[in-house]
Amino acid sequence: MRQRSVIIRILTVIGLSTGALGSPNFILILTDDQSYVGSSALMDPQNPETKSDYYQTPQIERLMSMGMRFTQGYAPAPFCCPTRRSIQVGQTPARHLYQKDRDTWTQQYSEQLNIPRMLKQANPEYQTAHFGKWDHRFDDITPQSQGYDFSDGYTSNRTGGGKGSGGPADSDDPKLMHHITQESIAFMSKQATNQTPFFLQISHYAVHLDIFYHQKTLEKTKTWKTGRRHRAPEFAAMTYDVDKTIGEILDAVSDLKLADSTYIFFLSDNGGRNDLPKTLRGTLPRNHPLRDGKGSMYEGGIRVPFAIVGPDIPKESLSRVPVTGLDIFPTMAQLANYSKPLPKNIDGGNLLPVLRNGAGNVERDNPFLIFHHAVDRKAQSAIRLGDFKLVKTWNGKKLELFDLSKDLSEKRNLSAANPDKTRKLHSLMTNFLSDVGAETRQTED
């Protein structure tokens, strides 16, 4: 009881309603491969280039206007699978995917506290659902085994029309986005009728390749003026179609009178691809002004559209505080009044202090954000502390230091000019990776 009263006082001070403290609903909308500049939502009002110059996504714009958008939101990884695992447990992939003891990491990961288990411990009445792309790979971990009450089962890229299965092509249900949305609305409706709290993760297959869309949408996008970065009408159609289903989720939340008790998290699982097959390249890179794209530790691979909507989160608000998908789990735990201490190996932090007015600090065990992959990926790491970011490519031990406050495009390598900062960040990076037992080599083919 004492801990609960302390939490109530904290929430009261920062301006979040204690009425939402008990058992609020949570919706996580995760798009796939959607670039930071892959929608018509302006991610940073101070930079007009931080939205698409062609795609139209009025529902993502609507969602962001309903709450707080983050100019510096990050996916946990620059690839699909590690991000999806990381969100569930609030841990960097260096702890559970790119381990030196890879033979045992599956069992360790599958037994950890995750979002469904945490919520059910906070309140056994919580109902949990996951619809869409699960894509945990390498093993047989399913949504059901991880505590989800309802799901599509084990799904992967191919389930939703993944790369290599066809397209671009017209479809009655492109990327299964309508199936995912209908299942999600039916789940919400049931919980609203039963008055039970819920967590719903909507994991879209779009806008991952291959490209599928409604023919009528393609006819519409062909009339739009193309841009210097984005010019593929088929991809614009797929983007518009998935955006429309996001609006249907927002409408359902309103129609079911759930808005006052529901928090919505929106982000992409990684940055956008650098190019698309069978399409002409623009005069600027697709993720401009960010450097590189999916698979890279530069900003184009990990900085993503990110927004949170919910009770007492100011509408039309904005935060420049760096946040990550790892923060979702501990933030939900705080909002759901999870009374036990979270595991010490959680890398995310509680976002509630930031959700009042966009400022403040995210309380994490480490003051930095860290990104890492190796083994079956090109061994590369990045660490961000304050405005500075260090990228290490392990093959050749290449170090690059950037000041993101002045160089969003990561064009100016400051490592030689600022050796002290480079050494400090490199030490923090290597010490952390050593402490968690991360592999720093790429497995030979």
Does 2 score more than 60 pLDDT? no
User: Would you call 278 helix, strand, or coil by DSSP?
Assistant: coil
Average pLDDT, the chain: 93
> Which pLDDT does position 385 carry in this prediction?
98
Helix (H), strand (E) counts: the chain? 12, 16
Give the whole-angstrom CA distance, residue 169 versus residue 188: 31
Q: Do 391 and 399 contact (CB within 8 A), yes or no?
A: yes
Does 21 score more than 80 pLDDT? no
> Which pLDDT does position 103 carry in this prediction?
80
CATH 3.30.1120.10 at 369-435, yes or no: yes
User: Would you call 434 helix, strand, or coil by DSSP?
Assistant: helix
Which positions ≥6 away from 199 have C-beta within 8 Å?
25, 26, 27, 28, 115, 116, 119, 126, 127, 128, 129, 332
pTM: 0.94
CATH 3.40.50.970 at 23-335, yes or no: no
In 66-138, which residue ranges form alpha helices assigned H by DSSP?
80-89, 93-96, 102-110, 115-122
- Rounded average pLDDT over 432-437: 97
Paired tokens of 433: 């990776």
Give the whole-angstrom CA distance, residue 261 versus residue 111: 30
Paired tokens of 317: 């608000």
Strand-pair category, 212-213 with 68-70: unpaired
Q: Which of 74-78, 119-123, 273-277 has the lowest mean pLDDT?
A: 273-277
Give the whole-angstrom CA distance, residue 23 versus residue 31: 26
| pLDDT-based confidence at residue 304 (cuts at 50, 70, 90) | very high
Q: Do 374 and 442 contact (CB within 8 A), yes or no?
A: yes
Triad 115, 119, 124: Cα angle to 5°: 140
Q: Do 60 and 296 contact (CB within 8 A), yes or no?
A: no
> Could you tell me the residue ranges of all domains in the chain?
23-335, 369-435
| pLDDT-based confidence at residue 9 (cuts at 50, 70, 90) | very low
Q: Do 394 and 379 contact (CB within 8 A), yes or no?
A: yes
Instruction: Please give the radius of gyration of the chain, using alpha carbons only, rounded to the nearest integer.
Output: 21
> Which pLDDT does position 4 carry in this prediction?
36
> Which pLDDT does position 1 carry in this prediction?
31
Does 137 score more than 80 pLDDT? yes
Give the whole-angstrom CA distance, residue 123 versus residue 321: 31
User: Would you call 369 helix, strand, or coil by DSSP?
Assistant: strand
Q: Which helix (H) or strand (E) holds 395?
A: none
Share of the chain above pLDDT 70, in %: 95
Which positions ≥6 away from 347 have C-beta within 8 Å?
90, 91, 92, 95, 326, 364, 365, 366, 370
Strand-pair category, 388-393 with 398-403: antiparallel
Does 101 score more than 70 pLDDT? yes
Strand-pair category, 388-393 with 25-31: unpaired
Within a 10 A sphere around the Cβ of 365, how many other Cβ atoms?
Answer: 11
Q: Do 218 and 43 contact (CB within 8 A), yes or no?
A: no
| pLDDT-based confidence at residue 20 (cuts at 50, 70, 90) | very low
Helix 80-89 vs helix 328-335: crossing angle, to nearest 10: 30
Of 205, 213, 164, 156, nearest in space to 181 by CA? 205
Handedness of CA 47, 49, 53, 58 (dihedral sign): negative
Give the whole-angstrom CA distance, residue 68 versus residue 117: 27
Give the whole-angstrom CA distance, residue 25 versus residue 328: 13
Burial class (CB in 10 A: 0-12, 13-18, 19+), 140: exposed
Does 18 score more than 70 pLDDT? no
